[in-house]
C-alpha cells in the first residue's frame, strides 16, 4: 500500500486523485492534504478520508511534505508557487507525481539536479503518454517525441481572426474542463509551449527532436518515434484519472480507472501541422528552453500577468504572447541559478510585463 500526500486537493486534478484513492482503498492510504485557499472544502476532504495532516497555502504545503511520512507526493498546485513543494518532495526521497508542470519548468536544472532517476512521474496527459510509450524502447532508440495538441478553441483561425477574441471565447475549450489560466494557455498554446519544455526536462530529448502536432479529437495523447521508423502512440478517451492513477502507482496500472476506446465503432482521427504564424507561443517556448537559466521562469511569469490582464479587459488576446516575447527579449539572466535568483527573475518579469501591459494601446 502506498501512502499518498495530495497537494492542491481542492482543484480539478486533486479531486480526481481523491476519487482514484477512494476507489482503491487496498492500494492507497491518504496521509496528507493541502489546498491553496479553500479551507472549507479541505476540511470536508480531511473528514471524509480521516486525514489529520492538512495544510493551507504554499509554505504550509512544503512543511507538510517534509513532516509527513509518505511514498508519493502528488503536486497538483497551480503555478510556479509549487516549486518549493516539488523541491521538498524530491529532497525527502518521495516519488513525485507531477501535475504542477510550472515547478519543473521554472526550477529547470535545480529540480533535475536533485531528482533521482525515475523519481519524477509525470501526470500531465501528454507526458504520461510519452512515459508509457518510451517503455517500448531504449533511450538510444528514440528519434523524436511528438506532443499532441487539441488546437484549442481557435484552431484554424488566422492571427487577424483572433484580434477581437473575448475571454469567454478563450475559455470555451473543446475537450478539457480546466481552470482559467490553464484554459487560456491552451487557447494561446502557451500551455503546449510549457509542455515542450517539460518534455525536454523530463526525458532529456533535444528541442529539435520534440514536435507538436494538432490532433483535435484528443484521443492520442502523445507519441514516440523510434529510429527504425516505428511510432508508439498512447490513446484513450480524455480522462485525467488515467494519468493520475499511473502517477500514484507507477509503473503499475489500475483496472477500471478509465473507459477504453470502442474499437467496434467507426471513427476518424486527424492530425494537422501547428500554425506557428498564428500561434507563436510554442516556437518562443523552444527558444527560452534552449536558453535555459531563468528564461523559462520569465516566460511563465510574464504569461501569468498577461493572462490576468486579458481577463480583466486590459490586454487583447494576441497581446498575451506579444507581452511574453517582449519580456523574454528584455531579460538578462543572473550569473548563478538559485532559488533566490529564480524568485528575483520572476518578480522582475511580472513588473516588466505589468509595465508593458499598462502601456499597451
Convert the pLDDT of each residue in 152-206 to its tens digit: 999 999 999 999 999 999 998 776 666 788 889 999 999 999 999 999 999 999 9
**Which pTM value belongs to this model?**
0.94
Write down the pLDDT at residue 78.
86
Q: What does the pLDDT average to over 306-324?
A: 97
Q: At 233, phi and psi to the nearest 5?
A: -115, 145
Q: Which residue has the cell 523519481?
A: 119
Vertex 131: Cα angle to 138 and 324 (nearest 5): 115
d(CA 98, CA 75): 5
Mind listing the pLDDT tens digit for each residue in 92-114?
999 999 999 999 999 999 999 99
pLDDT value at 49 more than 80: yes
The three cell numbers of residue 327 are 519580456
The fold adopted by the segment(s) 2-123+240-249 is Rossmann fold (3.40.50)
Q: Which of 320, 349, 318 is nearest to 332 (CA)?
A: 349
Percent over 90 (pLDDT), the chain:
95
* Mean pLDDT, all residues of the chain: 96
**Segment among 174-183, 243-252, 291-300 with least mean pLDDT:** 174-183
Looking at the chain, which residues constitute the CATH 3.40.50.720 domain(s)? 2-123+240-249
| Span 238-258, average pLDDT | 96
Do residues 159 and 318 lie in contact, with contact meaning Cβ atoms separated by under 8 Å? yes
Structure confidence at residue 225 as a pLDDT band (50, 70, 90): very high
CATH number of the domain located at residue range(s) 293-361 in this protein? 1.10.1740.10
pLDDT bin (cut points 50, 70, 90) of residue 291 is very high
Tell whether the model's pLDDT for residue 79 goes beyond 90: no
Of 26, 90, 7, 252, which Cα lies nearest the Cα of 18?
7
pLDDT confidence of residue 173: 77
State mean pLDDT over 264-273: 96
- Residues in Cβ contact with 5 at an 8 Å cutoff, skipping those fewer than 6 apart: 30, 31, 32, 33, 34, 53, 64, 65, 68, 70, 72, 73, 74, 94
Q: Where in the chain is the domain with CATH 1.10.1740.10?
A: 293-361
pLDDT band at 255 (very low <50, low <70, confident <90, very high): very high
Amino acid at each position: 500500500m502506498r501512502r499518498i500526500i495530495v497537494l492542491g486537493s481542492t482543484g480539478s486534478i486533486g479531486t480526481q486523485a481523491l476519487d482514484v484513492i477512494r476507489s482503491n482503498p487496498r492500494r492507497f492510504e491518504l496521509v496528507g492534504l493541502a489546498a491553496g485557499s479553500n479551507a472549507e472544502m479541505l476540511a470536508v476532504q480531511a473528514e471524509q478520508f480521516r486525514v489529520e495532516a492538512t495544510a493551507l497555502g504554499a509554505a504550509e504545503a512544503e512543511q507538510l511534505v517534509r513532516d509527513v511520512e509518505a511514498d508519493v507526493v502528488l503536486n497538483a498546485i497551480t503555478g510556479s508557487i509549487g516549486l518549493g513543494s516539488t523541491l521538498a518532495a524530491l529532497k525527502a526521497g518521495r516519488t513525485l507525481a507531477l501535475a504542477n508542470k510550472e515547478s519543473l519548468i521554472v526550477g529547470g536544472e535545480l529540480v533535475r539536479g536533485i531528482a533521482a532517476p525515475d523519481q519524477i512521474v509525470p501526470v500531465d496527459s501528454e507526458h504520461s503518454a510519452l512515459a508509457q510509450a518510451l517503455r517500448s524502447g531504449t533511450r538510444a532508440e528514440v528519434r523524436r517525441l511528438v506532443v499532441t495538441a487539441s488546437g484549442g478553441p481557435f484552431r484554424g483561425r488566422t492571427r487577424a481572426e483572433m484580434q477581437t477574441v473575448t475571454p469567454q471565447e478563450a475559455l470555451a475549450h473543446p475537450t478539457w474542463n480546466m481552470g482559467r489560466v490553464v484554459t487560456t494557455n491552451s487557447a494561446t498554446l502557451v500551455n503546449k509551449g510549457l509542455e515542450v519544455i517539460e518534455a525536454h526536462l523530463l526525458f532529456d530529448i533535444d528541442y529539435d527532436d520534440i514536435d507538436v502536432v494538432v490532433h483535435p479529437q484528443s484521443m492520442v495523447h502523445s507519441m514516440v518515434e523510434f529510429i527504425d521508423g516505428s511510432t508508439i502512440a498512447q490513446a484513450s478517451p480524455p480522462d485525467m484519472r488515467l494519468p493520475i492513477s499511473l502517477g500514484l502507482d507507477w509503473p503499475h496500472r489500475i483496472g477500471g480507472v478509465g473507459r477504453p476506446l470502442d474499437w467496434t465503432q467507426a471513427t476518424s482521427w486527424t492530425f494537422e501541422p501547428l500554425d506557428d504564424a498564428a500561434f507563436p507561443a510554442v516556437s518562443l517556448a523552444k527558444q527560452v528552453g534552449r536558453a535555459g537559466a531563468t528564461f523559462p521562469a520569465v516566460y511563465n511569469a510574464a504569461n501569468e500577468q498577461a493572462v490576468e490582464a486579458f481577463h480583466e479587459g486590459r490586454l487583447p488576446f494576441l497581446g498575451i504572447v506579444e507581452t511574453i516575447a517582449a519580456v523574454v527579449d528584455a531579460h538578462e539572466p543572473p550569473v548563478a541559478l538559485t532559488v533566490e535568483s529564480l524568485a528575483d527573475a520572476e518578480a522582475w518579469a511580472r513588473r516588466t510585463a505589468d509595465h508593458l501591459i499598462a502601456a499597451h494601446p
